[in-house]
């Protein structure tokens, strides 16, 4: 069995009286792409924030490579080889591309002085590697002047810099053009080919179905479905399942209509 990069056991998170997550189990093995699907408000964002260490769970256990961790934080998560590309991309838009790529991980030498040339070199290499260099911008360009796809490129470059073992992509194709979306998919396949893992969050089920080895559907703070690719025949299966989850037993007419429409395409 492949090595288990991270495992969440019975993770609960409540904000006051409201439960965002009510006992979630989730794991990602080396070299697999896990697709995480869920409606708005299902608890996806909370789950991602817990994985990336931004939010601490109310209860439950986090295991990194089989070892339980304590004092989980954003810095600890990154040190453990988990990089997150957040939905809002988490960029500082008034700063240069270089400063964003090395945010929180500045390349420093003696007494914390920046290795400016090394940073520029590495930034150039990273951006070339993922192919986000079609427009003429430089490492000194201000991120606020870049397009959505180029910003996504910066966020991804930052995630791959340290040879992360698990990259979490939170809605990476939202607001991207078709070409840019294709680039993101190409990147995901590249990462899997290199033996690393991806947790891919999306609400476009077709996108997730195309790319994931395993599917996890969460609904109202719980895992509603965890299935291998072999168990799910088509994206329509997933869509039907999602609808059943959303409207258990009800609205068969709508169900049929949507199914027919999907088949017609």
Partner 1 sequence: MEPDLQNQFSGPGGDTAGKEWRHPSDQWLRGFVLDNRASLGTLAVFIVMMAVFMIANPTVFTTWYLYSSVLTTLPVALFVVVPLVFVVTCGEIDLSFPATMGFAAWVFALVVQAGYDPFLGIAAALVTGVLLGFLVGSLVVYGGLSSLIATLGMNFLLRGLIQIINEGKSMALTGLAGSTAYKIFSSQVFGIPVQIFWAIAFVVLSAMLYNRHRFGAQVKVVGDNPDSAQQMGIDVKRVRVKVFVFVGIGAAIAGTFSVMINFTWWPTAGDGYLLPVLASVFVGGTPTWGGIGTVAGGAIGAVTVSFIQTGVVAAGLSGFYVQFFNGLIIILSLLGHKWNQARYR
What residues make contact with partner 1 under the rule CB under 8 A?
Answer: 52-54, 73-75, 77-78, 84, 86, 90-96, 99, 102-106, 108, 112-114, 116, 120, 123-124, 127-128, 131, 133-142, 144-145, 158
What's the Rg (C-alpha) of the chain? Answer: 19
Q: Based on CB atoms, which residue is closest to partner 1, 2 or 75? A: 75
Q: Exposure of 197 by Cβ count < 10 A (0-12 exposed, 13-18 middle, 19+ buried)?
A: buried
Q: Based on CB atoms, which residue is closest to partner 1, 106 or 210? A: 106
- To partner 1, the closest distance from the beta carbon of 64 in angstroms equals 15
Q: Based on CB atoms, which residue is closest to partner 1, 86 or 215? A: 86
- To partner 1, the closest distance from the beta carbon of 133 in angstroms equals 5
Q: Based on CB atoms, which residue is closest to partner 1, 91 or 217? A: 91
- To partner 1, the closest distance from the beta carbon of 259 in angstroms equals 39
Q: What does the block give as tokens for 208?
A: 């997730």
- To partner 1, the closest distance from the beta carbon of 222 in angstroms equals 25
Cα–Cα dist 183/132, whole Å:
9
Cα–Cα dist 105/102, whole Å:
5
Report how far apart the first and last C-alpha atoms of the chain are (Å, whole number): 39
- To partner 1, the closest distance from the beta carbon of 48 in angstroms equals 10
Angle at 217 between CA 52 and CA 224, to 5 degrees: 115
Tell me which residue of 74, 82, 73, 106 sits closest to 164, measured CA to CA. Answer: 82
Q: Based on CB atoms, which residue is closest to partner 1, 141 or 174? A: 141
Q: Kindly tell me the sign of the dihedral angle through the C-alpha atoms of 192, 196, 197, 202.
A: negative
Q: What does the block give as tokens for 211?
A: 């790319």
Q: Based on CB atoms, which residue is closest to partner 1, 103 or 251? A: 103
Cα–Cα dist 52/37, whole Å:
18
- To partner 1, the closest distance from the beta carbon of 41 in angstroms equals 20
Q: State the number of CA atoms in the 13 A half-sphere of 181 facing the CB.
A: 14
Tell me which residue of 242, 230, 232 sits closest to 202, measured CA to CA. Answer: 242
Q: Based on CB atoms, which residue is closest to partner 1, 134 or 231? A: 134
Cα–Cα dist 171/85, whole Å:
9
- To partner 1, the closest distance from the beta carbon of 198 in angstroms equals 18
């Amino acid at each position: 069995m492949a090595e288990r990069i991270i495992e969440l056991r019975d993770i609960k998170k409540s904000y006051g009286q409201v439960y965002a997550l009510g006992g979630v189990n989730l794991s990602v093995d080396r070299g697999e792409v896990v697709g995480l699907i869920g409606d708005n408000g299902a608890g996806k964002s909370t789950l991602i924030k817990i994985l990336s260490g931004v939010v601490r769970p109310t209860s439950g256990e986090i295991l990194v490579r089989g070892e339980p961790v304590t004092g989980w934080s954003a810095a600890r998560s990154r040190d453990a080889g988990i990089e997150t590309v957040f939905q809002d991309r988490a960029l500082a838009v008034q700063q240069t591309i270089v400063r964003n790529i090395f945010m929180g991980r500045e390349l420093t030498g003696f007494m914390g002085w920046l290795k400016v040339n090394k940073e520029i070199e590495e930034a150039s290499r990273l951006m070339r590697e993922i192919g986000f260099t079609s427009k003429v911008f430089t490492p000194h360009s201000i991120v606020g002047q870049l397009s959505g796809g180029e910003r996504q490129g910066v966020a991804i470059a930052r995630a791959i810099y340290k040879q992360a073992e698990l990259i979490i992509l939170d809605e990476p194709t939202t607001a991207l053009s078709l070409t840019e979306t294709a680039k993101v998919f190409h990147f995901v396949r590249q990462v899997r080919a290199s033996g690393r893992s991806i947790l891919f969050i999306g609400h476009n089920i077709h996108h997730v179905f195309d790319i994931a080895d395993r599917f996890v559907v969460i609904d109202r703070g719980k895992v509603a479905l965890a299935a291998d690719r072999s168990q799910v025949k088509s994206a329509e299966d997933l869509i039907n399942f999602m609808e059943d989850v959303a409207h258990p037993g009800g609205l068969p007419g709508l169900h049929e209509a949507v199914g027919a429409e999907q088949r017609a395409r």
